[in-house]
A and B are shown apart, each in its own frame.
Chain A
Amino acid sequence: MSKNKLLFLSLMLLIGSASCKKQLDVGNPNSPTLVSDVTNEASLAAFAQGAVYVDGFQQSNAYNWLGNGYFSLNYSYSELLGDMVGSTDANEIVNTINIPYYVILDNSTKYTSNGGANNEAQATQLRVGNTRASTAAGYNPLYYQWCDMYLLNGSCNTILAEIPTVKSLSADAVSTIQAWAYFWKGYAYSVIGSQYTAGLISDVAGATNGNYLIKDSIIAASNANFSKASSILGGISSGSADYTRVIGELIPTTYQGTPHGGIPTPTVWIHNINTMLARNILVNKLSPFVNGSLSATISKASIPVMTQSDWQNVLSLATSGIQTGDAVFTATSDPVNSLYPTKDGNITLMAAGPNSDLVFQPGLRLTQNFNAGDQRLALDFTAGPADTFYNDYFSTVYSLINTSNGSSTVYNYSDQDIGAYELFFAGSWEENTLMMAEANIMLGNTDAGLTLVDAERNYQGAGVAATAGTGLTQAQAYNQLVRERRVALFGRGLSFWDSRRWGWIYDITQGGGSYGNKLLYLPSTGASVMNVNATFDYNFMDYWDIPADEVILNPPSKGTASVVTNPNY
């Protein structure tokens, strides 16, 4: 009898198991998958949009917590190393990464933080911090930009891999999404090749390789991807409804209505690409301009000096670059689900407001570049005792205004109101115009260059006297260009590359240094002293080493180990 009962029980258990097994594949009802949800144009576009904006620029790496996302940290490093802003916060060493090797005060005394010998060279600090442990602790600046850009590149690889799996796409839709992926791959390689001494070319979704290549090859890869995008775009007819629809699905709706954003036509997009191609040349060659001298030389740098043909190439690319009224790639903050928080999505937003409560303070080496009467300084900044902030080399007397400057014509560096500040991902009309101006000046067309500088100043509502036709020498003209580039492009992530190519970040013994600077010096006793002719020896590493997180987890394949660190430091 008990046997029967046991049999009965066993049978019940078997039935139970059969019915249970079906329950086990619960799936994840909360999240989509590539296989089941990226199946048509709209969902592929939704993926292509997120792959770029979210993976590349939002919260792509877990350690990024200063501000929020790509710009608040990576653009900040550029502005810190370009000596545009200072910080007292220790997060991601934003308070020490920019400490100069030493400074010579107006009274010719040497000033270092430790009161004695030179401060630690930045290369030493970066290398001490280039460990995976340091990354985890948030003290490895080399990690972030590398990580963000390779996540962007990886996601673009996945976009390209997904396109053939979606059957219902029109030819122009395929082209548009391909151009999108190649463009952002070009962008990622551009950033990597301009910032790091070497990189990897990784064009297979979900895979990588250990074949580290020096930066020139990465810039070449950037150019190749941009060119691919360009030629695909060239094959799309200008009136293609498919193109217009798809690009409208790729660029977030909000950004289509910003002052400089919108939907680029294929031609306008090619203009944007040309500007980036010009930038790839310009920021990766030297154009030494130390102590006001165009004949300065840098004895030991990772890059050669611009040649006349380089300037010609920059001029011709920029000439076919972003034109007046062209839509460019920008973003603004949204009231909800914003790409970046309206108060700290970018360096200028984080530097805006009363100095007392800020991560970054706008520095004197930024403001000293404004010509007298510049409306951008008058309307966007306040100065005075309440704006005085003491921080070693980075003490300042300015605050950046955190709301509208009240003018419809004067450029606004920062506006923390929702949707008010426009952030530039890639090239802008100003950058393109100033590249043309610079190339003209360096090719001997001084006045043509100055005319463009003046045009750019007018565009931003500077309200200063024109420089063209005032008989400036080439060096004086270049000085105007340099000053204008520093103020016009503040907050767009270019300042470090500019300081590098002008030779300022190199050690004085190698011909570098930055002369004639303002510095509010606070002695250990007594009142502060405003210096106006301080010499900064930054001695920064010109191209960064590869972060340990990459090198250790992806060891260099045979023969490529030597390129992962900058050989000049």
Chain B
Amino acid sequence: MLVTMGLHAQMTQITGKVTDATGTPIPAATIRLKNGKGGTSADLQGNFTLKAPPNAVLLISGIGYETKEVKLGSSATIAIQLSTDSRSLSEVVVTGVGVATSKKKLGISVEAVTASQLPATPTASIDQALIGKIPGAQISSVSGNPGDPVNILLRGINSIQGGTMPLIMLDGIQLRTTDLNSLDLSTIERVEVVQGAASAALYGAQGANGVIQLFSKKGRKGPLAINFSTSYSANQYINSGHVNKAQLHPYATDANNNIIDGSGNPDTLNYAGVYPYVAYTYGGAARSGIENPLNINNKPYNANLKWYDHFKEVFQTGSTLNNSINFSGAGDKADYAFGVSNNHTVSPVMKNGYVDRTNLTSNVGVELFKGFKLRSTTQIIYTRNTMVPGLGGPQYNGYGYGNQPGGVGNIFSWLNTPAFYQLNAKLSDGTYPAKQVSGNYLGANAFNPFYVQEYVIGTDNRVDVVQDFDADYKLSKFVELDAKYGINYRSEGDQVTYLNQSLNVNSSTYFAGGTYSGWYAPDNTGEIDKFQYNNTFQNFLANAYIRTDWEKDFHSKLPITTSTQVGFDWRKTRYTEFDTYGLGLPLAPPINVTATSAQGVIEDYVEPFVTYGYLVNQVIDFGDYGGIAGGFRSDFSSAFGEGSKAFTFPHANAYFTPSGFKSWEDGIGNTLSFVKVRAAYGQAGIQPGAFQRYPVINQGDLGQNLTYSIPSTSNNPNLGVEVSTEKEIGTDLSISAAKQGQWLNQINISATYWERKSKNVIWTVNTAPSQGITGELTNAITLHSDGYQVQLNLPVYKAKNFSWDFTINYGHQISVLDKIQGETQILLTSNGGTSQVLQAGYKIGQISGYKALTSLDATNQEGVPYIAKADYGNYTMVNGRVVDTARHYIQFTNETYPIGDGNPKFTASFINGFNYKGMLSLSFQFDWIYGSHLYNQTKEWMYRDGIHQDFAKNVTISGRTAQFTSYWSSAYYDDGSGNGNDAARDYFYESSSFLRLRNLSLGFDAASILKISGIKRLQLVLTGRNIWTKTKYSGMDPEMTVGSPNSSWDRTVDQSTIPNIKSYQVGLNVGF
């Protein structure tokens, strides 16, 4: 379309074509005369004609591309190539808005990350790559166990039972059964994130936790392009706190410092790999010796017993090998992209197994006839996991739901093994001992991971299929119809074999068969457990879009454009699980279920779920000045309570762009070139559990009988959806600090403040036991959250050969519990035994525990002093805590207090990228988490037997300096006040703020130097990930902020969580 302006005689006709770097036309690109009136836009093939005076300067822009200035020369035809704009404001997004919209015209906040901004992570997983990239979002890797999901907390917490996992979409279709980390990073073009109800209201009952949408790469116009990548990385667990076991001990020794047995002779290992008798110097071979004030932990292991570095024995160097090859291209009517990739990761835990993932991908689009396009995207993923259950392998019921961490119970089961045992010392028959315990008390909770590796075999095979079809028909310039159908299928079979351990003398003889590896087996004769998970998800979406442009369509003077979306969305899941076991394995092959002596069914389970909804969304834009949008979505669900009534989620948003006015452009616009303010309101939900609305009784077996019984907590037929109502306001700005210079010629800032209320949050509230049940499921809780997020994005320097880009992402958020129906406090216990509470007025993640007394006149909550004035002389201050001088015990309160919630004050990322001639690139990312805390449960467990390295540290009590075991152990043991051993105490609540070099990457592309014909890219990349951490946290990794991934409440406790890996990677990328 040509918009004619006033013509001059001197004008010449220019024809041109606008394309992107790959030669693909940019339709509807805008061409303007820089210092005059007039302009046009390109057609679908990127062609345009324009009359312009000689030597005029054209400004060419396209949505998603950097604006380019071209000075006209003598030629009447020009070819213009625009480069894609990686900076935020020119991008086009679809997530949360339904139709492709420039970020300049959004009333909501949408974050987008393009593939080029995502680092090459060893696991080649998208979730890992997103860490630090989304302002405001707390995406963190909370386990370095291969295959484990990352923790994703976008804005705040909406649900207690539902966790924090957002809705994940691939090309417009929900990805429900396939793990995000199973997708192949090399096939992803870009990622968009909307973080809360205000922007995710279009997703209704699925949207409250926000949405992460992935877009797969399409073939670009041109001949066949081939890209090949290979990389290898070496991975080790982070131990930034240098956690280890004490290298000194307090045990009874002879004159030569030999640790002695009950008869006074130097200890020797017995037939079962055990030192049967080790005693404290004072107090003998009893657990209580550790609390004896006479024992000093000051003897070196320099005689018969040695100190072993268990961390070194168990944590080795794992590896990852990545290979991928992609083929792509496009003609006028069709495009294609195919890829194959393989990722092979060997666990750093004793190299006990691997995760091997192969992805086959295809993305094919075709325009069948004018305006009618079909697209099919496919991912077929085969994953084989051979890691041992307990040492990181897949584990048991519900694993097939996806996004589950591996079973890691035995990875740290040696934390309580006394340091004088060698974990990988074999017994005389070449097997490993199961348990290395001494004196009936030291290492009572220990278990040897090498024994587990020897006797347990795990094999998990999984096939994921993600198939999306999209049919799009542009009926007229007003109406576009779009239908999408996606099927996401996951089939997974897991077999766990516990070999017959009855020949192991440690298990069978020394521990009389009572110490062994097993799951369902009642003895050490082994078992085979088989788990078959199937999960099928279908998603159908039909949308009609009606667009009008009043100027063009109705010749109105008003620059109004409208877009109306009417949609229907249907989702159905069917999860099945069938688990069996066979108990009692022979000692000789064949080792199979047929050979077992008893068999049983663990679970035969099916879970159907259906939801569907309608959507109406109306958008009205007023030229470049502003716009409004609003609408609603109504959802039905099989999980909604009685009657299955629809729930309706409304939304509305608006933006105002003062920089769109002509007057602005000429004035302040020279520096503040773009200004937008926006505000949005929306509601979205989280579905209840599939069966939570059905009151049922339990069915079980008692010996040979089938029984029914009453569940101890009851379901609720009237259960409603959890609703999150959010308001956000924000601004997007571009500042042209030095318009023509090479430094800071544009600064982009996006900032958003948001607040929300989550109502009808589902939880089981406790009931009085005399009612016959202990709890009732209900919409019990009200929460509120708020926070802000800022992204600052600036090309620091840009010259012909060199560029420096810098991005800061900054966010803060809190979630507070307001009210619980009928209760003041909900009590939770994380896996590790740390008490966590949900309490009105406190943040989610609150830990409840005992406080160390910090002054002699401390009183309890009723004002009663803990220590009588007359007894002050019996106490002294040590490291800021009251300690009794006789026993050296730290004094704690006997009432619990909220001791902290661990939530960070802010999270920030600093991302720098340098590029020289497109040949040499350097990028690095620092992540800074400030003000966070962790409850160091791992350390507390290591205090139990005096194994932690702290026990070798001196402490001064009443003028005497020594390594008193009684002092250190008093942080673990009940001092007689009745609060129990291993109780939550503020002693173990530590700052876990950290600054981490998340990524450091150096790339060198030799293609431009070597100029080998046909090779477009020959890039060597060296990458380091998580290679440097600055923290005061004394545990292994300050980032282990959650007990279970994506839990709303099981956070801020380090409970032998698996630390992140630091890795060094070398990669080669070749493009043809």
Contact = CB atoms under 8 A, between A and B. Distances in A.
Given A96-B974, A133-B827, A337-B702, A55 B771 contact: no
B771 A137 contact: no
Given A2-B478, A342-B522, A357-B437, A150 B708 contact: no
Interface in A369-402: 385, 389-392, 395, 402
Contacts of B768: 208, 549-550, 553-554
Interface string A242-270: 00000000001111000000000000000
B277 to A, nearest CB: 9
Contact of B700 (A38, A54, A385, A389): A54
B511 interface: yes
A33 B696 contact: yes
Given A27-B694, A37-B697, A550-B770, A55 B827 contact: no
Interface string B279-292: 00011111110001
A5 B769 contact: no
A139 interface: yes
Contact of A138 (B287, B481, B598, B829): B829
Contacts of A547: 769
Nearest to A356: B440
B835 A136 contact: yes
B596 to A, nearest CB: 12
Interface stretch (B27-35, B636-644, B666-674, B728-736): B636-644
Given A26-B609, A51-B710, A391-B287, A154 B773 contact: yes
Interface stretch (A8-16, A464-472, A490-498): A8-16
A402 B511 CA distance: 11
A539 interface: no
**What size tier do the contact residues of chain A reach?**
35 or more
A5 B979 contact: no
19 contacts: A2-B476, A6-B566, A20-B636, A47-B697, A50-B698, A50-B702, A60-B712, A88-B287, A95-B981, A96-B980, A113-B976, A114-B887, A128-B894, A150-B772, A151-B769, A208-B772, A353-B512, A522-B283, A549-B768
A20 B570 contact: yes
A522 B709 contact: no
Nearest to B766: A553
A205 interface: yes
Nearest to B889: A114
Contacts of A222: none
Contacts of B694: 27-28, 31, 33
Contact of A254 (B479, B515, B522, B704): B704
A50 B636 contact: no
A395 B706 CA distance: 44
A31 B441 contact: no
A6 B708 contact: no
A151 B772 CA distance: 4
A240 interface: no
A132 interface: yes
B287 A120 contact: no
Contacts of A346: none
B569 to A, nearest CB: 10
Given A136-B827, A524-B294, A37 B708 contact: yes
A124 B262 CA distance: 38
A55 B511 CA distance: 33
A34 interface: yes
Interface in B695-728: 695-710, 712-713
Given A2-B476, A31-B698, A158-B710, A90 B769 contact: no
A23 B610 contact: yes
A561 interface: no
A49 interface: yes
B512 A402 contact: yes
A208 B522 contact: no
Contacts of A390: 284-288, 440-441
A423 to B, nearest CB: 13
A190 B893 CA distance: 37
A27 to B, nearest CB: 6
B644 A21 contact: yes
Which of B437, B698, B980, B984 has the most CB atoms of chain A within a 10 A radius of its CB? B980
A135 interface: yes
Contacts of B848: 133
B705 A252 contact: yes
Contact of A131 (B699, B702, B823, B896): B896
A225 to B, nearest CB: 15
Nearest to B772: A154
Contacts of B637: 24
Given A13-B568, A155-B710, A205 B440 contact: no
B223 interface: no
Contacts of B441: 88, 390
Nearest to A129: B978
Interface stretch (B382-390, B600-608, B1014-1022, B1034-1042): B600-608
B709 A51 contact: yes
Given A124-B978, A154-B710, A30 B835 contact: no
Contact of A26 (B435, B511, B610, B699): B610
Nearest to B826: A136
Nearest to A54: B709
Contacts of B691: 28, 30-31
A169 B435 CA distance: 56
B977 interface: yes
Given A49-B702, A93-B980, A133-B835, A208 B771 contact: yes
B23 interface: no
Most chain A CB within 10 A, of B475, B572, B694, B710, is at B710
Contacts of B770: 150, 153-154, 200, 202, 208, 550, 554
B334 interface: no
A147 B286 contact: no
Given A13-B614, A90-B974, A25 B638 contact: yes
| Residue in A116, A135, A151, A353 whose Cβ sees the most chain B Cβ within 10 Å | A151
A158 B600 CA distance: 30
Most buried by B among A154, A254, A341, A356: A356
B767 interface: yes
Given A61-B769, A334-B702, 8 more contacts: A6-B544, A24-B637, A30-B604, A136-B835, A357-B515, A418-B522, A547-B769, A553-B766
A525 B292 CA distance: 10
Nearest to B771: A208
Contacts of B697: 31-34, 37-38, 47
B367 interface: no
A26 B294 CA distance: 67
Given A49-B707, A158-B710, A135 B827 contact: yes
A1 B609 CA distance: 38
A23 B638 contact: yes
Contacts of A24: 610, 636-638, 640, 644
B827 A132 contact: yes
Contact of B511 (A9, A125, A354, A550): A354
